[in-house]
């Protein structure tokens, strides 16, 4: 299983946008339904109340982590920080604190962000997803054959895996 970066909102300013702006567009009911889904899954729903961050630097720092064999802990730490601990992962100082907690060198991350070392990788990944028709996330590509867009119920994935098995396309990896 491999996580790939997708820059969902490149149009956001570096400081992010007010959460109230997003809530006004989606409506409160949408956020309540997301909260319900998250809590049903056993997680704490507590994103930053005032801001929706620009995630670009977080995505680029995660690619550095990938190269250093730390993708999973960094990815998990940033997800937890944003969704459950109300941390603004778009704020560089906050981001550096978080990735340093799980083993990345703060100065190296700061330098990589400054010289945009991983910008092209994030762009290329997002472009490739777009070319596959991915415009919503999370987006799953199963067995290099089927795309599942969005957070779907178990039944959808079961259907997809069944379809792949029937087509002899599904070859589970050990990861």
Task: Give the interface with another protein as residue ranges (CB under 8 A).
Answer: 1-9, 11, 22, 25-27, 30, 33, 52-53, 55, 58-59, 78-79, 82, 89, 121, 124-126, 128-152, 156, 159-160, 163, 170-173, 175
Q: What is the rounded CA–CA span in Å between residue 172 and residue 146?
A: 14
- Give min distance, CB of 62 to another protein, in A: 8
- Give min distance, CB of 47 to another protein, in A: 8
Residue (of 137, 136, 143) closest to 168 by Cα position: 143
- Give min distance, CB of 100 to another protein, in A: 17
Contact between residue 3 and residue 65 where contact means Cβ atoms under 8 Å apart: no
Which tokens sit at 4? 């790939």
3-state secondary structure of 121: helix
Q: In this complex, which beta carbon is closest to another protein, that of residue 89 or of residue 109?
A: 89
Q: In this complex, which beta carbon is closest to another protein, that of residue 59 or of residue 109?
A: 59
First to last CA, the chain: 6
Contacts of 3 (CB under 8 A, 6+ apart): 71, 75
Q: In this complex, which beta carbon is closest to another protein, that of residue 44 or of residue 152?
A: 152
- Give min distance, CB of 11 to another protein, in A: 7
């Amino acid at each position: 299983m491999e996580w790939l970066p997708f820059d969902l909102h490149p149009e956001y300013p570096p400081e992010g946008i007010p959460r109230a702006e997003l809530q006004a567009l989606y409506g409160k009911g949408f956020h309540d339904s997301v909260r319900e889904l998250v809590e049903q899954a056993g997680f704490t729903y507590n994103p930053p109340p005032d801001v929706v961050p620009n995630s670009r630097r977080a995505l680029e720092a995660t690619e550095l982590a990938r190269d250093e064999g730390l993708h999973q802990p960094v990815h998990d730490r940033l997800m937890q920080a944003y969704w459950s601990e109300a941390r603004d992962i778009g704020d560089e100082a906050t981001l550096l604190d978080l990735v340093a907690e799980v083993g990345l060198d703060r100065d190296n991350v700061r330098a990589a962000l400054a010289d945009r070392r991983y910008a092209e990788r994030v762009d290329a990944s997002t472009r490739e997803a777009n070319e596959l028709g991915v415009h919503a996330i999370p987006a799953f590509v199963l067995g290099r054959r089927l795309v599942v867009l969005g957070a779907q119920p178990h039944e959808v994935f079961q259907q997809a895996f069944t379809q792949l098995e029937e087509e002899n396309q599904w070859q589970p990896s050990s990861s």
